Each structure stands twice: as C-alpha cells, then as structure tokens.
Structure 1
Amino acid sequence: MPGSTWFYDAILYIYALSLLFSFSDMATKNRSAKRMGTGLLAFVWLLQTVFIASRMYEHQYVPVMTMFEALFFYCWVLVTISIMMNFFLKRLDLLVFLVNVAAFAILAINIFSDPSVTPISQQWEARDELVFIHITLAIASYAAFMIAALLSGMYLFMHRQLKGKRWSAVMTRFPSLDRIEGYTYRAVLIGVPLLIASVALGIAKIVLDGDTRLLADAKVLSSLFSIAVYAFYLLQRVTANQTGPMLAFWNLAAFTAAVINFLVFNMYSGFHHWIWM
C-alpha cells in the first residue's frame, strides 16, 4: 500500500503546483496555465484513487472508518466534484479554485496529523455495511454543503461589489447572481437528503444495537439541528420569503452549524468519538 511519506508528499506538492497554475489562470486568464493546472489536478485525483483502492485491497473495506481515512476520502470527493465542474459548468473557475484550496488545506492538515487513528467505535466492526453507507453519505453531504457555502460567499461578495458600484476584473470570472443562487440551492438540495439518509442510518444502527439511550447523544441531536437549519434555508428559498443576500447568509449559518457538528460534537459523543490529532 502507498503509505510512505514520499507518497503523501507527492500528492501535496503536485496539488500545490496545480493550485499555482490555477491561480495564474485566475490572475492573467492564461489558458495554458489552466490546462496545466487541470492536468495536475487530474494526477492528484489519480494518486488519491490509488491510495483508496490499495487500502480497500489490503483491508477489504472502503477506507472511511477512521478520521484520517474519512478526511482523505472527503478530499477525494471534493477533487472529483471540482474536476467535473471544470469540464461541465462554465464560468465557475473561481469556485473550482476555492473548492480545491479548501480541499488542499484539509488534506495537508490531515496528512501532517497522526494517521494512526482508532476506529469510530470499538463496538462497530470495520466491515459493517450499514456503518460504511452512513459515513459515505455523510461525507457526500458535507462536500455538497461546502460547495454551497463557497457559492454563498461568492454571492455576498458580488452583491456587495455591485451595490457599491465597484466593478473589478475578478468579477468577470463570476456567473450572474441568479446563477450563483441557483447553484447554491441545487447543492443544498443534494446535500440535505444525503445528510438525512446518513443520520437515519446512524439512528437505525443505534436501534439495532439496542442502546436507545444513544438517541439522546450530543452527536445525534446536533446532526438533527444541522438538518433543521438547512431545512429552514430551503423553506425560505421555496417560499421566496427572503432576499438573495439573506438566503446566502442563512446558508452560511447552516454550514457553520454543520462544521460545529463535525468538529465539536464528535468529541462529546458517546459512540462517535474519533481520535485524530
């Protein structure tokens, strides 16, 4: 399995070069730099895929059972989505760049932390299919939520610039406000059902294990709260009760709740405690 230091370093160095070429394209509209950045990003995706595939072959399970594996897989999902957006969606170069900056930061922190982590719970077997589906659905939902949050940040920035009549060259790389808001809504619309399904499977696992006291666990309650905040955003969007900037604000608030759910409440959960750093 590619687990030595040089393999991780290669991923980070190639990823950093990809970001540098992408930034050059953002700054100077250099198409050659964009092609180089995209090619390097595809190579990063290939190396990440090799790591995941080799881990699957060695351990006979999809590698999402530890914090290190889950965050690595999360970054792979973000890279996959960014490559797809780069090819199939127009005028989203800035979003693709921001997604990869976030994925690079998460990947770097994850790699430089101690990869010798413990499983999610000693009571749950690594090959448990229910747990695997629960985790992968949660990872996919968080990827959708991050993209939605970045889009909301772009919306608020562009709205402020337009309102103040401050036009800049970087704004030529933005889609229209309506398109940004539409992309945000679609991303949340994808993420929410995935998170609901993930939480439902987690609750089902608790019930099957017979320890219903865990239904009042901090992780379960915080996950339900995150779903509620995103549901409020969707309700406001569907009923048209809020303006675009307020919708962007609520989406960022919902993403903040989701991040707190992931970073903070894992530590206080009786069954969802991951040891990472």
Structure 2
Amino acid sequence: MNWLYPVTIVLYSLSVLGYFIDFLQHNRKVNRMAFWLLSIVWVLQTVFFVIRALELERLPLLTPFEGLFFYAWLVVTLSLAINWYFRVDFLVFFTNLIGFSMMAFSLFTPDGDIPEALSALLASELLIIHISMILLSYVAFTLSFACQIMYVIQHQMLKRKIWGKRLLRFGALSKLDSLSFIAISIAWPLLLIGLILGFIWAYHKFAFVPLYDAKVISSLLVLGVYSVYLYQRVVKYVRGYNMALLGIAGFLILLINYILSGQYSNFHIWY
C-alpha cells in the first residue's frame, strides 16, 4: 500500500490540471478526462480508507493525517456529485485546488499509526513529484518560448514586408499565439503545484518554509510574470506582439531561475 498514496496524489494533480485547462479554454474533452481522473482518485482514496480501517480495526479519523485525508476524500466525493448532477465545472476546479492541497499536506501531519520507514518513503516520493512537476513546467515554458520567438520574428518580417517561402514556414501568427497560450496554461499550474509540494516537503524536513531562498524568490517571480500573461490573455483578451514579448521576458527570468539562482540557494543544487 506504500505506492497507493503517491499515485493518488499524482493523478489528483493531473485532474486539477485538466480542470484548470478547461477553465481557461472551455475544453470539454479535457474536462471529461479530468472528471474520469478525479473518479479514479476517489476510488483509490476509498480503497486506501477501507484498507486502513481494516488494518487499524477502527475508522481512520483520529490522527491529523487521517482527518486531512478524510477531508480531501469528502471534497472529491462532493466534487463528483456536483460534476455529475449539476455540471458546475468551475466550482469543481476551485474546490479541488483546496482538496489537493489538503491531501498533499496530510502526508506530513502527525500520525502515530504510520511507521517511521513509511513516513520517510512518502517524503522521498513527494520530493520526486515536486521535482518532476517543476521540470515538466520548464519543458512547457520552453515550448511557449519557442512559439513566442517565432511570433516576434514573423511579426518583424511582416512589418518590414519581407516576403518569401521562409515566412510561410513560420506558420500562422494566430496558431503560434494559441500554441504558446496552451503551453503556458499547462506549465503555470504545474509550476504552482510543484512549489506547493516543495513548501510542504521543506516544512516537514526542516520545520520551516525557505521563503527567502534565492530559488524560491525567483520561482515566485516567474509564477508572477506568467500570472500577468494569463490575466491579460484570459480576462483582458489581449493578444499579439506585446504578449509574445511578455512571455519571452518570463522565460528569460526562468533561465536565470534555472541557471543562476541555484548557486545561491541552500536547498537547490541542480534545478
């Protein structure tokens, strides 16, 4: 059963990511995938709850860990009911942001029934998930950066009336803009989830959250810049050249975050 909890958290994070994409793009296919992932999460949570109850020969509701887990299970149960009967998707998304945070945090709350070896295993699993989420977000941000660079180059070529086959090979500006937005829509929540899991792991390991760490500060700055991008795109309906420049600026900060800030961090050595 040691693998069940980390797998559940990974699937839960993917479900939240799907609802976030649907929130931005009204993508019904992704919404359905997120719903089925959330359903699988509920099944795994229920299995974990039943197995634990049988092992302890009591309802697992007494320790802080069990309380937070049960709270997250209730959130998922309520979300499935809302999604099934009322189809209020955005409510499901915002609700599960909280549910996911609570379930992740429950890994490191006091629980006298969990052996020390299992606690250490869960900690290492969470660190792996944290690193994976961060690196996946970096890959998606890289894709958006490539699209934005192509957008800027093509925009300048059109402005200067430089025609030819090379211009055609860049693809439509609207397509580059849309692909960049999709990549950032995936990368931003991955980075946010990775940071949250990193905070939880650091608090468990060192009994404090390193908010003044260089890597943490630069990561929050990256998150802030891309938050402005998403706000301008989704709320203000801003498109075009200036948005591409904003995305490029965000990626340059990300490069500084990736390459330089780790040298001044006490917690991050290589990423």
Decide which structure has the larger Cα Rg and report it: 2
Structure 2 distance, partners of 1:169, 1:199, is 44
TM superposition score normalised by structure 2: 0.53
* CA–CA distance in structure 1, aligned partners of residues 209 and 137 of structure 2: 26
**What are the ranges of 5 or more consecutive residues in structure 1 without an aligned counterpart?**
1-123
Cα drift, residue 127 of structure 1: 8.3
**Pairing partner for 1:193 from 166, 169, 189:** 189
The AA in structure 2 aligned to 1:212 is F
Matched, 1:183 2:185: no
Match of 2:151 in 1: 155
Tell me which of 201, 204, 219 is aligned to 1:205: 201
- How many matched pairs? 152
Deviation string for 1:45-65 (max 9, x for gaps)?
xxxxxxxxxxxxxxxxxxxxx
| Deviation digits for residues 10-65 of structure 1 (CA, Å, limit 9, x no counterpart) | xxxxxxxxxxxxxxxxxxxxxxxxxxxxxxxxxxxxxxxxxxxxxxxxxxxxxxxx
Q: CA RMSD in A?
A: 2.2
User: How far apart are 1:192 and its partner, in Å?
Assistant: 0.4
Which aligned segments of 4 or more residues in structure 1 are displaced greater than 6 angstroms? 124-127
Q: Deviations over 1:64-90 (max 9, x none)?
A: xxxxxxxxxxxxxxxxxxxxxxxxxxx
* Aligned counterpart, 2:255: 259
TM-score of the superposed pair, with normalisation by structure 1:
0.52
- 3-state SS of 1:212 partner: coil
Q: What is the SS of the residue equivalent to 1:240?
A: coil
Q: Which amino acid in the other structure matches residue 237 of structure 1? A: R
Residue in structure 2 matching 1:146, options 142, 147, 158: 142
Amino acid at match of 2:161: K
Q: Calculate percent identity across the aligned residue pairs.
A: 34
User: Cα deviation per residue 1:122-178 (whole Å; 9 max; x = unaligned)?
Assistant: xx9898111111111111111100110010010011111112211121122122111
Residue 213 of structure 1, CA deviation: 5.4
Residues 206, 215 of structure 1: 8 Å contact kept? no
Kindly indicate whether residue 131 of structure 2 is the aligned counterpart of residue 135 of structure 1: yes
The aligned residue for residue 270 of structure 2 is: 274
Contact map agreement 1:144 1:187 (CA 8 A) in 2:
yes
**CA contact under 8 A between 1:152 and 1:184: conserved in structure 2?**
yes
* 1:239 corresponds to which of 235, 239, 245: 235
> Contact 1:214/1:270 (CA < 8 Å) preserved in 2?
no
**Cα distance between partner residues in 1 of 2:232 and 2:129:** 30
